[in-house]
Structure 1
Amino acid sequence: MSEKPQSTMLRKLPLIVILLVAVAGAVYLRDYLSFQALADNREALLAFRDANYLLTVLGFIAGYIVIVAFSLPGATIATLTGGFLFATFAGALFNVVGATLGAVIIFQAARWGLGEKLAARMEASDGMVKRIKDGIDANQWEMLFLIRLIPAVPFFVANLVPALVGVPLFRFVITTFLGIIPGSIVYTSVGAGLSEVFASGETPNLGIIFEPAILLPILGLCALAVMPIIIKALRGKKGL
């Protein structure tokens, strides 16, 4: 028997709420989650951190979760803020924790609303769709790490696609947490140097991740992630 319309709508409700908040955030929050807003409020943020360190950490992580879960503008600014407030290593840890928990929320919402049914349809289908699904299933760990490591893959895409192809939650959490560490460290380190940037009246170089000294090691990690896929493909051809 098919699901009742009310049950189907209930399952899709979290995803609908996320989409509505994302649209509203893109319209109304862009000016509040910006580099200029951070620059204007930096002294107040530092003073509050010094007086309430633990509360600042918890509030920062909660804010990062909301930004990621609802795909709000300002994720990069939030990462810079983590470095600015907590320095590189502590800031990177808080950034990764917040981003991972936020990613889990949108992943679960997408899987609950669409993913399980879509994955079942892909599994039952024939031809190209089934081959794509089987290819992803055979290399889930590698593919999940790869989409996290490649800087050009939007974060919300990397959160939604695994939900739509039936990736297990545990596997999603591990690959998200570990896979976003390199990029998070880069941007957090930029944030840790914002005091000098503010003093000079400049803006941070957010394209630093594409500079050779940063990009090449990340591409090396991508190569390591894709290597098992290539080896499996070569072994499969030899077996024919």
Structure 2
Amino acid sequence: MSNLRILLLIVLILSIGGFFYFDLQDALTLDNLKSRQADLKAYVGLHPLPAGLLYALIYIAVTGLSLPGATLLTLAGGALFGLGWGTLLVSFASSIGATLAFLAARFLFRDAVKARLGERLSAIDEGIEREGAYYLFTLRLVPLFPFFIINLAMGLTHLSVFTFYWVSQAGMLAGTLVYVNAGTQLAKVESLSGLLSPPLVGSFALLGLFPLLAKKIVENWPK
């Protein structure tokens, strides 16, 4: 492993370790957000641009380091910035953070994985090259798959950075709207797990599968 990779790995380990050592995850709770909503919203009202920038940077850091708290931060976007600006901030911050995690996984681990898996990784790369955008879009729309796992796994493939970014942003938009909208009514939110009902999850899954199914139908249509 090169010196640059070792340095980056050390920085990542220290950052993640510091997050848990200083119990920063305790700040990213629903109860804490509710209790501090009025003060935070007052600050946003007085300093909208710095507040928006700081919020986006925190969101990018959390998602880029694959730390817990992205769902809570998405709710906070709606609670503090409203549906429109909240959705805009979350959409870009989550996509940028996801891409950083994707790049970190590729830079740090792809060579090692390739050396170990060899031809099997090449076969996966070929599949991703053919269906990558459709496959990623489906994964992004189905909230059952933790997004940080998708970020890291896709970083080990040959999927282009540009494709990863724009498909992630498009695929996560529907879920972002649901959570940001819930954040605008934060007082009514009892738990993070109760925000997505089974019918809504099923709808997202069908929406995500549709482009892939449509592509298969067109490819196999008699000519």
TM-score, normalised by the number of residues in structure 1: 0.81
- Is the 2:64–2:101 Cα contact (8 Å) retained in structure 1? yes
The CA distance in 1 between the partners of 2:166 and 2:18, in whole Å, is: 31
Q: Which residue of 2 aligns with 1:208?
A: 195
Q: Structure 1 residues 25 and 70, CA, compared in 2 at 3 Å: closer, same or farther?
A: same
- Is the 2:142–2:201 Cα contact (8 Å) retained in structure 1? no
Q: How far did residue 115 of structure 1 move? A: 2.4
Q: Which residue of 1 aligns with 2:74?
A: 79
Q: How far did residue 133 of structure 1 move? A: 3.0
Kindly provide the CA deviation profile for residues 74-133 of structure 1, in whole angstroms up to 9, marking residues without a partner as x: 1111000000011122211111111111112111111112225645876xx44x554333
TM-score, normalised by the number of residues in structure 2: 0.87
Q: 1:52 aligns with which of 26, 29, 47?
A: 47
Residue 209 of structure 1 aligns to a residue whose secondary structure is coil
- Is the 2:101–2:152 Cα contact (8 Å) retained in structure 1? yes
Q: Which residue of 1 aligns with 2:16?
A: 22
Q: Which residue of 1 aligns with 2:161?
A: 169
Amino acid of the structure 2 residue aligned with 1:226: L
Larger Rg: 1
Q: Structure 1 residues 224 and 13, CA, compared in 2 at 3 Å: closer, same or farther?
A: farther
The CA distance in 2 between the partners of 1:105 and 1:12, in whole Å, is: 17
Q: Structure 1 residues 134 and 109, CA, compared in 2 at 3 Å: closer, same or farther?
A: same
- Is the 1:69–1:106 Cα contact (8 Å) retained in structure 2? yes
Residue 107 of structure 1 aligns to a residue whose secondary structure is helix
Q: Structure 1 residues 118 and 137, CA, compared in 2 at 3 Å: closer, same or farther?
A: farther
The CA distance in 2 between the partners of 1:24 and 1:77, in whole Å, is: 20
Q: 1:63 aligns with which of 14, 36, 58?
A: 58
In structure 1, the gaps of 5 or more residues are none
- Is the 1:13–1:113 Cα contact (8 Å) retained in structure 2? no
Q: Which residue of 2 aligns with 1:113?
A: 108
Amino acid of the structure 2 residue aligned with 1:186: V
Q: 2:141 aligns with which of 124, 144, 149?
A: 149
Amino acid of the structure 2 residue aligned with 1:34: T
Q: Structure 1 residues 117 and 137, CA, compared in 2 at 3 Å: closer, same or farther?
A: farther
The CA distance in 2 between the partners of 1:70 and 1:187, in whole Å, is: 21
Matched, 1:220 2:206: yes
Q: Structure 1 residues 119 and 140, CA, compared in 2 at 3 Å: closer, same or farther?
A: farther
- Is the 1:144–1:175 Cα contact (8 Å) retained in structure 2? yes
- Is the 1:12–1:114 Cα contact (8 Å) retained in structure 2? no
Q: Structure 1 residues 23 and 42, CA, compared in 2 at 3 Å: closer, same or farther?
A: same
CA RMSD of aligned residues (A): 2.6
Residue 194 of structure 2 aligns to a residue whose secondary structure is helix
Kindly provide the CA deviation profile for residues 172-199 of structure 1, in whole angstroms up to 9, marking residues without a partner as x: 11011111101111111110101x43xx
Q: Structure 1 residues 17 and 137, CA, compared in 2 at 3 Å: closer, same or farther?
A: same
